[in-house]
Amino acid sequence: MNFVFCLYGYFPFGGLQRDFLKIASIAMERGHTVRVLTMDWQGEKPAGLDVQLMPHSAISNHRLCQKFTRTITNLLPDLNCDAVVGFNKMPGLDVYYAADSCYQARMIDTRSAAYRLMGRYKTYAGFEKAVFSPESKTEILLLSPQEKQKFIDCYGTPDERFHLLPPGISKDRFRPANASSIRDELRTEFALSEDHIILLMVGSAFQTKGVDRAIRAVANLPEALRNRVKMFVLGRSKIDAFSSLAKKMRLADQVNFLGGRDDVPRFLLAADLLLHPARTENTGTALIEAMAAGLPVMVTENCGYAFHVKEAGAGKLVPMPFQQEALDKALQEVLSGSELRTFGENGVKYAERIDMTGLHDKAVDVIEAVAHRRKQR
């Protein structure tokens, strides 16, 4: 069968982008052809993947998305495809991969009524409605159970259009037999002893992930504990504001921005705690990866995969609405206490008893089923 995958842009270190590429790869392994329509592509293009670049320009992001969506809408009738799969919300999709949280619910919670009169809001809310309204035929690949009810509350989406996917981490994230030697090697590489405490953050969009919150929490630790901390931030984002904050908090030598990395598993094994005080997070794949590696987790409870951390007993949840003081206190308690080893062991046991790798295969199963139904109409 012929599939068309649509997304605004690809770069190697985004969670959505990694999932997109894995789903496309599995579809091709099953004998399907995949054509990708996107405005931008960074990094290598896998063999066999038909990437059609469609660059656009506009004075704002929402106008850029409008233009791209309009181009796709006009192009699709001529592509003779069996299913159109979107990795961003837009009209005309047969399947939507729901990596983003409910925009409408978020705007109601965080923005004024005046904001909702602006073009930006109308564009993104309109795209979301095109996917989730009762009149839409789009099937939804759901990553977060807690987001499902938000979509239903906002749009009245029929329950049967949602397909809940398990997590989908790579097998190299699971704790290997030589985990201790990998931990020692990385600590030696960065001239760190066992007395140092490595705090790890993984993910792009540092403001969304709460990197500033984490820096403040480290700064507010008691001096003796704070001096032992080394914080590694992995991911692609603008760092100026965060490096300035670290300098202001006298942590410039302790907070390290390492950019997007291909060796994330090494850091998961070498670190002592994953920090993820995100402002919003539909899922949080880094949480699952940390648990599988035996790395304890501290996460705000609004993150989609935070319930896995709670069920596993693999870390500590910071309650919402967020208060910096609560994160500060939780971090001090965890780093001063004796729970870290237990949290790590619980995460590994949990990863062994639930499906943590099936997301991408199940996503292709749904896409195939939707394409078959379209053919039979």
What pLDDT score was predicted for residue 375? 81
Spell out a b/e string for 246-282, using b for 16 or more CB atoms within 10 Å of the CB, else e.
Answer: beebebeebbebeeeeeebbbbbbbbbbbbbbbbbbb
pLDDT value at residue 219: 98
Q: Flag whether pLDDT at 32 surpasses 90.
A: yes
For the segment 346-361, what is each residue's pLDDT rounded down to a tens digit?
999 999 999 999 999 9
Q: What is the reported pLDDT for 14?
A: 83
Task: Using the CB atoms, write b or e for 119-139: b if 16+ within 10 Å.
Answer: eebebbbebbbbbbeeebebb
Cis ω before 265 (30° cut-off from 0): no
Res. 377: pLDDT tops 80: no
CATH H superfamily, domain 171-353: Glycogen Phosphorylase B; (3.40.50.2000)
Dump pLDDT digits (tens) for 323-349: 999 999 999 999 999 999 999 999 999
Give me the pLDDT at residue 69, please.
95
Across the beta sheet with 83-86, the strand order is 50-53, 33-38, 2-6, 83-86, 95-98, 139-142, 162-164
Identify the band that residue 87 occupies on the pLDDT scale cut at 50, 70 and 90.
very high
What is the phi-psi region of residue 162: left when phi exceeds 0, alpha when psi lies from -120 to 50, beta otherwise?
A: beta
244-277 confidence digits (pLDDT tens): 999 999 999 999 999 999 999 999 999 999 999 9
Give the pLDDT score at 110.
87
Percentage of the chain modeled with pLDDT above 90: 90
The pLDDT of residue 54 is above 90: yes
Q: What is the mean pLDDT of residues 56-84?
A: 93
Average pLDDT over residues 90-99: 96
Domain 2-166+358-376 indexed as CATH 3.30.230.10: no
* pLDDT reported for residue 321: 93
- 31-46 average pLDDT score: 95
pTM listed for this prediction: 0.86
> Would you state the pLDDT for residue 191?
96
User: Tens digit of pLDDT for each residue in 133-153?
Assistant: 999 999 999 998 888 999 999
Instruction: State the average pLDDT for the chain.
Output: 95
Per-residue pLDDT tens for 181-229?
999 999 999 999 999 999 999 998 999 999 999 999 999 999 999 999 9
Is residue 43 within 8 A of residue 62, CB to CB? The reply is: no
**Rounded-to-integer distance, Cα 133 and Cα 152, Å:** 9
* CATH 3.40.50.2000 domain range(s) in the chain: 2-166+358-376, 171-353
pLDDT of 146 reads 83
On whether the CB atoms of residues 280 and 208 are closer than 8 A, the answer is: yes
Instruction: Using the predicted structure, report yes or no on whether residue 322 has a pLDDT greater than 90.
Output: yes
The whole-number pLDDT of residue 197 equals 98
